[in-house]
Amino acid sequence: MRATVLATALATVLPLALAISTPAPAGEKAPAVERMKVGGVSPEEEAAAEKYFTNTELLDQHGRARHFYDDLLKRRKVLINFAFTACMGACPVMTQNLAKVQEMLRQRGEQVSILTITVDPENDTPAVLKQYATKYKAGPGWSFLTGTPEKVSAVLQLLGGKARQPSEHTAKLLIGDTSTGMWVKTVATESPETIVQLVQHLNDPK
């Protein structure tokens, strides 16, 4: 489904967290892909997108401070998912899957950033996330993000990834291009081939 294009006021936006909520639980078949537009290429739309996504400061696996919109989203194609390192359920499967996606996209010459946001910031420090990234052979351009519980919670909330407990987190995968404002959702356990196809055809006219 399509949402209203961002204009100069944030109030005109169909909130992203609502537009892409209620994903299929881990292990279930991915829902039909929903398409929506959030932001775009005009200065006014870009300013509204920055206001919506915010520049909340998070930390990546190298301990670097990263402003969420300016450093991680602005004018990029991105994949965003939610996980935590102590997860014994879907997280290892999702992370292995996204590692395959990243390699396939690299082979196709696609410049795409991957953002994995922890749902357990109290335990997932940058050092812990770095070990996790190394374990799954995450390549350049893949950021594993943490921060204070308050800041992480704020970002999870706006993306529809907040959970009462880490073990209850969503398997949602958000795929977006902030240079065009187009976003789709699926699940991070979807086949790598399907995810790659969604990335490559994200901006196709419909």
Question: Has 14 been labeled as part of a binding site?
Answer: no
- DSSP for 86-124? T--SHHHHHHHHHHHHHHHHHHTT--EEEEEEES-TTT-
Residue 141 DSSP SS3: coil
Q: 81-111 burial by CB neighbour count: b if 16+ within 10 A, else e?
A: bbbbbebeebbeebbebbbebbebbeeeeee
Terminal alpha carbon distance of the chain = 11
**Do 69 and 46 contact (CB within 8 A), yes or no?**
no
Question: Has 187 been labeled as part of a binding site?
Answer: no
- DSSP for 61-83? TTS-EEEIIIIIITT-EEEEEEE
From the annotation, which residues make up the binding site for Cu cation? 87, 91
Residue ranges for the binding site? 87, 91
